[in-house]
Amino acid sequence: MSETTTVTEPIVVEEGETRPGFAGQNVPRKEDKRLVQGEGVFFDDVKRHNMGYVHFVRSPYAHAKIRSVDVSKALEHPGVFGTMTGDEVALLTDPFFQISSPPGAHLKDFCLAVGKARFVGEPVAAVVASTREIARDASELVEVDYEPLPVISDAREALGEDAPVLHDDAGTNLTWEGVYEWGDLDQAFAEADRVVKISELHFDRFNSTPLECNGALVEFNRGTGQWTIITNNQFPGFAAIMMGPAMRVGLDKLRFVTQDIGGGFGNKITSHPQLVACCLLARKLKRPVQWTEWRTDFHLSMSHGNERWFQDTEVAVKEDGTLLGFRTTALDDAGAWLRYEPLGGVIWAQVTPGMYRWRHIRLDFKQVVTNKAPVSPNRGYSRMQHLWFTERIIDIVAHELGLDPVEVRKRNYIKAEEMPYETPNGCIYDSGDYSKMLDVALDLIGYDELDTKRVDAESRGKLLGLGIGSTLDSGTNNFGQSRLINPELQFSGNNEVATVKLDIFGEIVVTLGTTPQGQSHETTASQVVADILGCSIDDVNVRAGHDSYWNSHAGFSGTYASQFAVTGLGAVKGATDMLAGEMRKLASVVLGCAPEDIELADGQARMKANPEAALPFMALGAIINANNAGLPEDLDVTLNCRYVYRPPFDPPDVERKYGNLTLTYAAQIHVAVVEIDPETGVYEVVDYAAVDDCGKRINPQVVEGQVMGATAQALGAATHETFTYDEDGNLLTPNFYDYHVPHALDMPPIATGNIESPSPFTSMGTKGMGEGGGAGIHAVCAALQDALSSRGKPVVYDSCNPYHRVWELLSDPEASRQRVSVEAG
């Protein structure tokens, strides 16, 4: 069972701090009432008259030339409305805009495979029919003539001299590379007493597998030339700028509508190719079409997390365990297409030093394409890989130098008094006290009784180990970091929009630009609004979901990258402050006093001096909307306030790869205890503690929920979840048969704790949070290494360690030890 410990820091009440009220309370979620009754509206719940069902014909080959696609038999099949092939797509659309600088920039990515298929499951053609079943029947009648080509199923082979090239347009599989160097490596290694070398570490391919897969219902309005896309894409702002140019239409022709989304975790950002295919089909067939992605389709083709190798790592360490710096090469496997990549090539840099004070860092980032599903953001996107790597360094160094991992961390953690802390690459860690968090975590796990627990486990024939994972969840991107990938890009900063209005009957209506997938935006937004307007959260109606027609969105609108608590609520607060000002102004005109004399409370605007003189919100709404004769001409009040929140960012220095890449840094410290059966390598996480610091918490229960959920995903990723391919490029874990996610009985007891270090950079002291699961992946890796240390000191080098990998470490520890060496500095 889970339990909670809270160590509340005195919250610095700053300018703009909301008054004590609903914020900080566990108010019940507004979303729940519909969801527990099965009355949520997910994309697949929406139906239209005469709609057709889309089924994609997918490549069974990982790499093959497409000689021909013959849809004639499919078209003759009863119930079939029509088809679409790559050849049509190549005529009707332009390739998707590429984020990458050359050679990645040269990729020609269409919504269906054109000329060549590059991974198993890649959509090659689409069929639309009157039922789901008939669409699939007909898809089997589409005759595709493939000429199989050699396959790259391991990124480390992608750069070989005789390696097949996936994209002739790029001419190489190395689609993006960048050298990042800060500080003085030579000096660091000269100062070092020890140099710990690690030949290779590997972060596995997996993703968060939201329970609802991707899909959309797409309608085309022939009169206006506009598409309505009812979907679960979680970043419509991005989808629109990818789709519009490709489809040769203005963005206003693409109306995105979402309500409830069955989980996203980043995996629903890159569905734009399939959405384009649906748009083309809806227009061609003159009817609404619905695409529902099934689980096996999702695993085969959508949004894997970045697989990454860290090669030839060298760490400069002092005798006492002080870390000076490291150099490494990160080889990143993007899969077959760059659908959001190569942004992963810079996103990691938000947390360059992890939680540690080392100043001298060099990382050579190489991203290659392979015959696997394209990667996309996945909860903890790109930082998770890098933070796992820095944590691995800590434990391997401690392991090899005979130091205590707890001590090494405490010695090297950035200190509370150093906050805000500028990292070697110019990121500003806003606040936090990592050592204290570690103490809370160790206390929760009963660190003092560790030795007793080991002995007890031994008596049961088990090997017990404890491991720590400390990570940062960097939230609110500065999109200017994309310029470190491609200086030509004209992106920087960030934004989110909210509109708050007071309606004719005094109803407060809040419209967000975000696309929540379980993050409780309707609830937390209402808490912020109610506190500012002095009313109850029940008086606040937050519209569910996102609709471009509401005009309450901007270029970066969506729900991704840990930012709602900052950008989303920042926009809500901004719009609500504007509305409050207008309400005061209007009331002051009516009551004949100065706006400063008006206070908003109990659902009224009233004179501070004389609360009897009060106007209920309904009166204010009615006056502006329906009874405005005689109001002063110059009264600038609409009671409908749209606010665009813009975090304070400058574009980074492209030359030095230097600048603040994210606004807030929530911290997580997780501790795992595992017990291994040495006879089999089978192990169990028997105890677990997760401590989180995301600054001011608007709704602690919601924050807690994010922590628990991220932890469960981490445990899955650490133990069983991996997208493994064979040498022919077949995915060996294409659905829940072989891709095992945690079920209820797999969950260890989890004790949670938190401290609150408000962010000095955000309007409410909040920080984005929710992507902190990475800590758990490392905690398990470290616990396994600790438990195995009595069995030949094997080194854990994979992020995912299913039983067979633990068995390999048990039966041949030397093989893993070959990867590390310690030399005098």
Q: Shortest gap between Cβ of 81 and another protein (angstroms)?
A: 16
> Closer to another protein at the Cβ: 296 or 625?
296
DSSP characters over 302-362: S-BPPEEEEEEEEEEE-TTS-EEEEEEEEEEE--S--SSTTTHHHHGGGGTTTTB---EEE
Structure token pair of residue 457: 């486990």
> Closer to another protein at the Cβ: 187 or 730?
730
Is residue 732 within 8 Å of residue 725, measured between CB atoms? yes
Is residue 367 within 8 Å of residue 177, measured between CB atoms? yes
3-state SS record for 702-721 = HHHHHHHHHHHHHHHHHHCC
- Cα 432 to Cα 490: distance, rounded to the nearest angstrom: 33
Nearby residues of 612 by Cβ (< 8 Å), 6 or more positions away: 606
- Cα 466 to Cα 54: distance, rounded to the nearest angstrom: 49
Least Cα distance to 475 among 777, 770, 266, 774 occurs for 770
Q: Shortest gap between Cβ of 580 and another protein (angstroms)?
A: 30
Q: Shortest gap between Cβ of 270 and another protein (angstroms)?
A: 18
DSSP characters over 105-116: GG----SS--SE
> Closer to another protein at the Cβ: 607 or 810?
810
Q: Shortest gap between Cβ of 168 and another protein (angstroms)?
A: 24
In one-letter notation, the amino acid at residue 660 is N
> Closer to another protein at the Cβ: 715 or 795?
715
> Closer to another protein at the Cβ: 213 or 579?
213
> Closer to another protein at the Cβ: 48 or 410?
48
Is residue 710 within 8 Å of residue 208, measured between CB atoms? no
> Closer to another protein at the Cβ: 212 or 400?
212
> Closer to another protein at the Cβ: 131 or 821?
131
Nearby residues of 413 by Cβ (< 8 Å), 6 or more positions away: 355, 356, 357, 434, 435, 438, 470
Other CB atoms within 10 Å distance of the CB of residue 95: 16
> Closer to another protein at the Cβ: 137 or 582?
137
**What's the length of the chain?**
825
> Closer to another protein at the Cβ: 4 or 187?
4
> Closer to another protein at the Cβ: 13 or 35?
35
At residue 451, what are phi and psi to the nearest 5 degrees?
A: -60, -40
Angle among Cα 784, 786, 787 to the nearest 5 degrees reads 65
> Closer to another protein at the Cβ: 51 or 246?
51
> Closer to another protein at the Cβ: 137 or 395?
137
Structure token pair of residue 89: 């797509």
Q: Shortest gap between Cβ of 47 and another protein (angstroms)?
A: 7
In one-letter notation, the amino acid at residue 772 is G
Q: Shortest gap between Cβ of 743 and another protein (angstroms)?
A: 5
Whole-Å CA distances, 152 to 118, 274, 290: 10, 24, 33
Whole-Å CA distances, 539 to 378, 476, 521, 577: 36, 29, 16, 17
Q: Shortest gap between Cβ of 733 and another protein (angstroms)?
A: 6
Q: Shortest gap between Cβ of 728 and another protein (angstroms)?
A: 6
> Closer to another protein at the Cβ: 49 or 743?
743
Q: Shortest gap between Cβ of 131 and another protein (angstroms)?
A: 8
Q: Shortest gap between Cβ of 764 and another protein (angstroms)?
A: 21
Nearby residues of 75 by Cβ (< 8 Å), 6 or more positions away: 82, 83
- Cα 82 to Cα 529: distance, rounded to the nearest angstrom: 49
Quick check: helix, strand or coil at residue 195? Answer: strand
Q: Shortest gap between Cβ of 716 and another protein (angstroms)?
A: 9
Nearby residues of 236 by Cβ (< 8 Å), 6 or more positions away: 256, 258, 515, 546, 548, 553, 557, 558
Alpha helices in 39-154 (DSSP H): 72-76, 86-92, 132-139
Structure token pair of residue 514: 């975000």
Q: Shortest gap between Cβ of 670 and another protein (angstroms)?
A: 12
Is residue 236 within 8 Å of residue 558, measured between CB atoms? yes
Structure token pair of residue 798: 């994979």
Q: Shortest gap between Cβ of 753 and another protein (angstroms)?
A: 14
> Closer to another protein at the Cβ: 59 or 367?
59
The two counts, helices (H) then strands (E), for the chain are: 20, 31
> Closer to another protein at the Cβ: 745 or 824?
745
Q: Shortest gap between Cβ of 51 and another protein (angstroms)?
A: 11
Q: Shortest gap between Cβ of 257 and another protein (angstroms)?
A: 16
- From its phi and psi, is residue 268 left (phi > 0), alpha (psi between -120 and 50) or beta? alpha
- From its phi and psi, is residue 750 left (phi > 0), alpha (psi between -120 and 50) or beta? beta
Q: Shortest gap between Cβ of 553 and another protein (angstroms)?
A: 21
Q: Shortest gap between Cβ of 542 and another protein (angstroms)?
A: 16
Q: Shortest gap between Cβ of 266 and another protein (angstroms)?
A: 13
> Closer to another protein at the Cβ: 12 or 35?
35
Nearby residues of 720 by Cβ (< 8 Å), 6 or more positions away: 739, 740, 741, 800, 802
> Closer to another protein at the Cβ: 333 or 704?
704
DSSP single-letter state for residue 473: E
